[in-house]
A = this chain, B = another copy of it.
Amino acid sequence: MFAKLRTNRLVDVRHADQNPDVDHLTLTDVLAALSDPLRVGLVRLLADGHEHNFGDFDAPVAKSTLSHHLKVLNTAGLTWRREEGTRCFIRLRRDDLDTRFPDLLDTVLAAADRDDVGGHVSTPVKPGAER
């Protein structure tokens, strides 16, 4: 569609599907985003309610892959992202999700915890960035 231009990319293209509006979230998109163990692992870490940035996630994949998965979560509406300088802060959209799909996130997280889905995703440093 767009995103084809090499220059003037920073104008508005970069944030095309970012942080979608609450009522644009669809159930199947959310479930699709949650159908990958690595992404479930990310969501489990984000479930502490704090803001995390990219470096907070230690997953056994290349950082481009990690970036991809975080983008999937974002465009599906599971996370909220905020950029500050060169780093981006990511937070779970728990309230929006609970509004739109009541109990869904809690239910999935409970099951994921029980089975340790995505347990290979960890946080290397202490999440002291909650403020």
Residues from 22 to 49 in A contacting B, C-beta threshold 8 Å = 26-29, 31-32, 34-37, 40
| A32 contact from B27, B32, B102, B107, Cβ within 8 A | B32
The contact size tier of chain A is 20 to 34
Interface residue stretch chosen among A6-14, A61-69, A109-117: A109-117
| Cβ distance A41 to chain B, nearest Cβ, rounded Å | 11
Interface flag for A101 (CB, 8 Å): yes
Contact indicator B108/A31 (Cβ below 8 Å)? yes
Query: What are the 10 tightest A-B residue pairs by CB atom distance, in nearest-first order?
Result: A32-B35, A31-B35, A101-B111, A103-B107, A31-B31, A107-B107, A27-B111, A31-B34, A104-B107, A28-B35
